[in-house]
Amino acid sequence: MAVNAQRFLDDLHKLREFGASGVGNGVSRPAYSDADIAARRWLAGRFAEACLEPHFDPVGNLFGLAPGKSLLMGSHSDSQPEGGWLDGALGVVAALELARSGDRPISVVSFQDEEGRFGVTTGSAIWSGKLPLEHADDLIDHGGMRFSAARGRMRDLAQGFVDPNRFTGFLEMHIEQGPVLDTNKEKIGVVTDIVGIRDMVIEFSGQQNHAGTTPMHLRRDAFQALSAFNSLINDRFKNVVSPQTVWTIGHVDVHPSASSIVPGQVRFSMQWRDGDVDRLARMESIIRASAEEIGRAIGVEFRFGQMLGIEPVEMDPELRQSLEDGAQTVAPGTWRVMPSGALHDASNVAALMPVAMVFVPSINGISHDFAEDTSEADLVIGLQVLEAALASH
Ligand code: GLV
Ligand code: MN
Ligand code: MN
C-alpha cells in the first residue's frame, strides 16, 4: 500500500493545533507543557489506530511499537518556546504514515525534550544511556523547574524504558532548518554527519548597587562583565574557528533587571557547535580562560554550570545509501549530501544502532521561529523519498 500524502498532511496540521501560537504556523509546545502532553496523548491514540502499541517511558519518550524486530523511525514533538510546526513533528508524523502504509514492521518514536528545555536532546540522551537518569533529574530549566518535577507531570502514563535491541536501525526525517536547500532550489538533503555541541550556563556575580550614586570606577557590574566576556571570546575565536563553527549566547538573565540598579548578577547560556572535537575543546579553553580574566579585571566572581555535550556523529553508510537511492528515484538532480548543523535525536540513537537522516528545505532557511515553514509539496517529496528508501533497503 502506498503512502497517503493527504492523511500525512492532515495529521501534521492536527498536531500543529497543540500549542498553536504566534503568526502563521507557529507553535509553542515546550517539553512537559500542557500542550506537549496533550499532543503526546493524541499521538498515542493515532499510534494505536495504526496497530502500534503506545508506550511512554519514564521520561515521556513516546513509542508506537510494532511487534517483534522492527526499524525505528521518528523524531520529537516538543518545540522551542517559539517554534514552528515542522521541527520534530515532521519526522514523527512521516514515520507514522510509513508505519501504517507499508508491509514491513516499523516502530515510531517521539523523543521528549529534544529542544533542550532541560539539557540537550534530553529524552534520547537518557534512552541511549549517555545521560544517567539521576544526573538528568538534577537539571533545571530557565524558570527554575527541576527535570524530576517536569517528568513527574507524566507519571500516570509512564512504563519502563524500551529495550533498544528490538530495533534494527533508526531513520529520522527533518526540516533542514538552514538555507542550503532553499537557496539552491533543491528538494532533499541526505545527511552525512551531525556536528557536535557543547552547552553550559555561566554566571557572573558582582555587587548590586544604586545606578545614580555608584561611581563607575567602583562598580562591579555583572552585565558589563558579560559584555566584555562576549567581545573577548569573539575576538579570540577568530584564530580557532572555521566558517562552519557557530556559537550562541541565547539566554541571558540579568538580576534584578531594573533600569536604576547596577546588575549584581548575570546568568547566561553559552553554546558552541562544530564537527571537530579538538576545535570544540580549544573553544572551551578560551571560554574558561576569558571568564576568569574578565572576572579578575571587573571584580566579579564567575561560576560554570554542568557542561553538556554531544559528540559529532557520522551516519551509517548503508542506511544513508538507501536514502540516496530514494532521493535519486524521487528527486533526480535536485538533492545533495550535506552535514547537519542542527542537533538531532539521531546523534544519541547512533550509540545504539545504525542511524541515517534526510532533510527537506526550510523556506528562507528559517527555523526556531514562528515563521518556520516548508511547502506541502516538498514535505510530500520527503515522505516519498523515505518510502523509496525503504523499498530499496
Ligand atoms: C535542536 O533543535 C538544535 O538546537 O539543534
Ligand atoms: Mn528538531
Ligand atoms: Mn529544534
Residue 22 has what pLDDT?
84
**What is d(CA 141, CA 38) in angstroms, rounded to the nearest whole number?**
21
Q: Containing H/E element for 286?
A: helix 277-298
Start-to-end Cα distance in the chain: 17
**What is d(CA 132, CA 111) in angstroms, rounded to the nearest whole number?**
16
Which of 166, 197, 188 is CA-nearest to residue 67? 166
CB-CB contact of 224 with 304 (8 Å): no
Q: Containing H/E element for 7?
A: helix 5-16
Which of 358, 390, 384 is CA-nearest to residue 189? 358
DSSP structure class, residue 159: -
3 state SS of 41: helix
Ligand 1 pocket check for 342: Cβ under 6 Å: yes
Compute the distance from residue 84 Cα to the ligand 3 centre, in Å: 9
Ligand 1 pocket check for 338: Cβ under 6 Å: no
3 state SS of 65: strand
Q: Is the dihedral of CA 253, 254, 259, 260 positive or negative?
A: positive
Compute the distance from residue 294 Cα to the ligand 3 centre, in Å: 32
Q: Give me the DSSP letters along 162-198.
A: PPGGGEEEEEEEEE--SSHHHHTT-SEEEEEEE-EEE
Of 118, 194, 271, 344, the one to substitute when testing ligand 1's pocket (max ligand atoms within 8 A of C-beta) is 344
Ligand 1 pocket check for 115: Cβ under 6 Å: yes
Q: Give me the DSSP letters along 86-152.
A: STTHHHHHHHHHHHHHSSS-EEEEEES-TT-SSSSSHHHHHHTTSS-HHHHHT-B-TTS-BHHHHHH
Ligand 1 pocket check for 343: Cβ under 6 Å: yes
CB-CB contact of 56 with 37 (8 Å): no
Protein residue with least CA distance to atom 1, ligand 1: 343
pLDDT in tens, the chain (393 residues): 699 999 999 999 999 999 999 888 999 999 999 999 999 999 999 999 999 999 999 999 999 999 999 999 999 999 999 999 999 999 999 999 999 998 899 999 999 999 999 999 999 999 999 999 999 999 999 999 999 999 999 999 999 999 999 999 999 999 999 999 999 999 999 999 999 999 999 999 999 999 999 999 999 999 999 999 999 999 999 999 999 999 999 999 999 999 999 999 999 999 999 999 999 999 999 999 999 999 999 999 999 998 999 999 999 999 999 999 999 999 999 999 999 999 999 999 999 999 999 999 999 999 999 999 999 999 999 999 999 999 987
Q: Containing H/E element for 295?
A: helix 277-298
For residue 343, the ligand 1 atom closest to its alpha carbon is: 5
Cell representation of residue 355: 542511524
For residue 273, the ligand 1 atom closest to its alpha carbon is: 5
Cell representation of residue 316: 551509517
For residue 121, the ligand 1 atom closest to its alpha carbon is: 1
For residue 88, the ligand 1 atom closest to its alpha carbon is: 2
3 state SS of 79: coil
Of 76, 177, 199, 308, the one to substitute when testing ligand 1's pocket (max ligand atoms within 8 A of C-beta) is 177
Compute the distance from residue 295 Cα to the ligand 3 centre, in Å: 33
**What is d(CA 326, CA 360) in angstroms, rounded to the nearest whole number?**
13
Residue 1 has what pLDDT?
67
**What is d(CA 22, CA 42) in angstroms, rounded to the nearest whole number?**
22
**What is d(CA 205, CA 267) in angstroms, rounded to the nearest whole number?**
9
Residue 393 has what pLDDT?
78
Q: How far is CA 170 from the centre of its chain?
A: 16
Helix and strand totals (H; E) in the chain:
12, 17
**What is d(CA 49, CA 26) in angstroms, rounded to the nearest whole number?**
27
Give the global pTM.
Answer: 0.94
DSSP structure class, residue 243: T
CB-CB contact of 282 with 240 (8 Å): yes
**What is d(CA 253, CA 250) in angstroms, rounded to the nearest whole number?**
10
